[in-house]
Structure 1
Amino acid sequence: MPDLERLVPLQTEGDRVPLFCVHAVSGSAYSYAGLSRMLGDEQPVYGFEAPGFDNDRTPVRSLPDLADEYTEILRAFRPDGEYRLLGWSLGGLLAYEMAKRLTADGADVSRLIMVDSGLPVVMPLPPERDILIRFVRDMMGLEEVPAELRSLFAGWPADVKPDTVFEAVEESGILPEEFDSYLLSGQYDVFRAHLEGFYAIDVQGRYDGRAVHVMAEQSVAADMQWKRLIPGLREHTVPGTHHSVWTGERLPTLYGIVRDDLYGASGTPGGGEATGGEGSRA
């Protein structure tokens, strides 16, 4: 039976076609809370929350398996009608995989919106120390490794134990107080499982549906070459970094592109083609 608890209701009111947002590498659906508020009371928004994130399930290490499960959940939750998918980072890859599965099953995927999503290449997983640095940096919402984090990891071996790191992180105070070693350990299990899946997936299969990719200006565009798999992809480049496009004065720019793609420039449901945002490229 599909695990419908993976769907988190971010906004349930309204009669527009629901927007389903797929979690990034962290596994949390709440990255999309700000966007959901901006879309307003007429737009239902649901987020996928990963197995193992704030629940008793074992994290899933295969992204194709995760896409299979989420597609099954989506079909059970909404058996008929069109589907609108959005995903940031790893969530964009999962949304793409879901769109392929849905269309192969004869479903109508009317929107696929990817936000700063890398196209993976199969390669070995980095050493544990490097994964842990990336995890803590991600928890801090940063692109670069800050000096205090480099100092914390200095001298630790490549195979350092996660619990050793999390105790030191808690003691250092570089993260908010609620992120204690126990919470970090649970969230790292999910993060690491998804990263393992990202490094292992061989992305194949063309998607011919309507799709938009919003890329952060400070991200590496060469890592996001999706057009060979999505020929009709429309691309937009917006100011900011991988994380900052979701915050503060950057979020309204991202919201505007999502809004226009969902409703057209007029803001009405189902309205025309997506308009070009800042730095738009067709």
Structure 2
Amino acid sequence: MTDDEAVLTIRATGHRPALCCVPAISGSPYPYLPLAALVDADRPVLALEAPGFDDDRPPVGSLPELTAGYLDTLRRARPDRAYALLGWSMGGVVAYHLAQRLRAAGFDVPALVLVDSIVPTLVRHPEGLARTTRFVLDLLATSGQPVEPAAAVLAGLPAGSTPEAAFTALSRAGVVPDDLDPSFLLHRYALFDAHLTALARFRPTGGYDGPVTLVRAADSSAELMRWDELASDVTELVVPGDHYSIWRDGGLAALGRALRRCLSDTDTDPDDDHGPP
């Protein structure tokens, strides 16, 4: 990771178009670390980090603005001619918009992989304590922590409880790890809140005619992932597990097989001239 580029290089070497991973709502690049063992060794892999995740940059509350920043970061970090894109959850929505921007600028996007990503206009986004609860449960589930004790504490709070009051209650109840103290949770919640606001306000337009692979968790709703209404060439692959367990154990192995399949199906010859030099 470099301070200037906010990119986590998971694998630096390889001759195929780099697999560029867009962070989920947490803004963290680290959930993508398992991809080092899932993707063929001849492909570089990198993950972007959201402004404000681990630096002093302010969080970005506009999805087009967030995408523009990622595009600039990506071009500085790796000035290639072609990029394979992958995004999990909200990261898939941003990756979709990023693919549109790259193709409009003349670059090749040989693969766009949406991992269990809901179309943002097909769901109501939570507010108030429900938003705080979603943040906490997402944070715990992403790291493989149990969510039920925290959910029980949050369910017992008054409906108008502030995030700070909720985080203090969780800390006092001892249902979150010690390193997730209220000040840390408030910092990360500010980023989550900005990203959820950006997601709720975003309306995808323009369509997309490049190859898209939707990798959906078997336990997730297919009706909320109707990317075929926004793209003309969508292949859906279903892997066992839920939104979080697909990054662990058997779900992770199935995710790896799905990724290798869609990347090999859409690879371009690295010696071909695609896009601006």
Give the conservation status (yes or no) of the 8 Å contact 1:4–1:77.
no
Letter in 1 for 2:221: V
Distance across 2 between alignment mates of 1:122 and 1:264: 29
Q: 2-side partners of 1:95 and 1:132: how far apart?
A: 25
Give unmatched runs, 5+ long, in structure 2. 270-277
- Specify the alignment match of 1:137 in structure 2: 137
Show structure 1 runs of 4+ deviating over 6 A.
none
Aligned match of 2:7: 7
1:183: how far off? 1.6
2-side partners of 1:150 and 1:81: how far apart?
46
Instruction: Quote how far apart the aligned CAs of 1:123 are.
Output: 8.0
Structure 1 match to 2:192: 191
Note the alpha carbon deviations across 1:8-66, whole angstroms, 9 max, x for none.
11222333321100000111001111122332643321101111101111110111110
The superposition leaves residues 100-150 of structure 1 with CA deviations (integer Å, 9 ceiling, x where unpaired) of 00111111111111100000128875332001110111112179x955334
CA 1:81–1:244: 2 relative to 1, 3 Å: same
Could you tell me which residue of structure 1 aligns to residue 150 of structure 2? 149
Structure 2 counterpart SS, 1:227: helix
Conservation of the 8 A alpha-carbon contact between 1:122 and 1:202? no
Aligned residue identity for 1:70: Y
SS at match of 1:99: helix
Equivalent residues in 2 for 1:51-130 (5 A)?
A: 51-121=51-121, 126-130=126-130
Aligned residue for 2:203, secondary structure, equals coil
Inter-CA distance 169–78: structure 2 relative to 1 (3 Å threshold): same
Q: Which residue of 2 aligns with 1:161?
A: 162
Alignment length, in residue pairs?
265
Could you report, residue by residue, the CA deviation over 1:208-267 in whole angstroms, capped at 9, with x for unpaired residues? 0111010011111111101011111111111110011111121010011111222249xx
Structure 1, unpaired ranges of 5+: 272-282
Pick 1 or 2: higher relative contact order, CA cutoff 8 A, min separation 6.
Answer: 2
- The aligned counterpart of 1:279 is none
Q: What is the identity, as a one-letter code, of the residue corresponding to 2:198?
A: G
SS in 2 for 1:19: strand
C-alpha deviation, 1:182, in angstroms: 1.9
State the SS of the aligned residue for 1:166: helix
